[in-house]
Amino acid sequence: MILAIKYNEDKYYDNAYYASVGGIALGELNFLEGEMLGMIRFDLFVYPELYEKYLGEIKVNSTAGDAVESEGDEVAVEDSKDEPMSSCEATKPGASQGPTMGSIKTLPSNAEMNEAADAV
């Protein structure tokens, strides 16, 4: 979720905020973020067709019929006195950039997943 927010928004909270809200250590969140980026080969773009395919599967397989909101539904978000940071602030020198990647098992790229979905 954090990667999606950072990819789509100009302003977002720093990882320390997300870690505190999520109840995990900042180092763990930074590590997980780095692992995820490595697994998806830093390719954060999702083709609309692939998004719709997986959204449909989630809706069909959801145990609670209303667990997944349709496009256009509003989600209530509590206000916070913390202000999100801009993408420029997130890359300030000295800001935590997460772990080095090393050798990580990778997931298929979006193109590979699209090909697999078309084959079904």
Question: pLDDT value at position 62?
Answer: 86
* Overall pTM surpassing 0.85 (yes/no): no
Closest residue by Cα to residue 40 from 4, 91, 16? 4
Question: pLDDT value at position 63?
Answer: 73
Question: pLDDT value at position 104?
Answer: 40
Question: pLDDT value at position 57?
Answer: 93
Give me the helix-helix angle, 110-119 and 48-61, nearest 10°: 60
Domain boundaries, the chain: 2-47+82-119
pLDDT digit string (tens) for the chain, length 120 residues: 899 999 999 999 999 999 999 999 999 999 999 999 999 999 999 999 999 999 999 999 987 655 545 555 544 444 444 555 544 444 444 444 444 344 344 555 666 666 766 665
Look up residue 4 and give its two tokens: 């999606």
